[in-house]
């Protein structure tokens, strides 16, 4: 699934794109969160299980390909991943 990133483009779920990116699950914990290795490089992004859209936390494994939006972490810890979708590559 590919999304355009133009200001007027919309995703199938009706939301406008902010910064749709792809990556790989780097780590999942037993406490309901994990980290995504960004395809374009840089630090791994934190995600919470509540950010998952089409997969349950229990079915997410290291190495799974995902698409996500990045947004500033409200706690001031850099960016975090939201609207995380598992994809096939």
**Does 27 map to a domain?**
yes
Say if 60 falls within a structural domain. Answer: yes
Residue 8: phi, psi to the nearest 5? -95, 0
The helix (run of H) or strand (run of E) holding residue 22 is strand 20-28
Task: Quickly count: other Cβ atoms within 10 Å of residue 4's Cβ.
Answer: 11
9 located within any domain = no
Segment 8-26 shows an average pLDDT of 65
79 against 16, higher pLDDT:
79
CATH number at residue 39: 2.40.50.140
Mean pLDDT across the chain: 82
The larger pLDDT score, comparing residue 65 to residue 16, is at 65
Domain count across the chain: 1
Q: Is residue 80 part of a domain?
A: yes
Smallest CA-to-CA distance from 17 within 80, 89, 86, 83 is with 83
- Domain of residue 59 covers 20-86
Q: Whose CA is closest to 68, among 84, 87, 44, 88?
A: 84
The answer to whether residue 11 is domain-embedded is no
pTM (two decimals): 0.76
């Amino acid at each position: 699934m590919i999304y355009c990133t133009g200001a007027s483009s919309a995703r199938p779920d009706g939301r406008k794109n902010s910064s749709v990116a792809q990556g790989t699950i780097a780590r999942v914990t037993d406490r309901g969160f994990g980290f995504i290795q960004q395809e374009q490089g840089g630090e791994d992004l934190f995600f919470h299980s509540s950010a998952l859209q089409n997969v349950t936390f229990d079915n997410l494994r290291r190495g799974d390909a995902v698409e996500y939006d990045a947004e500033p972490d409200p706690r001031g810890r850099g960016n975090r991943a939201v609207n995380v979708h598992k994809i096939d590559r």
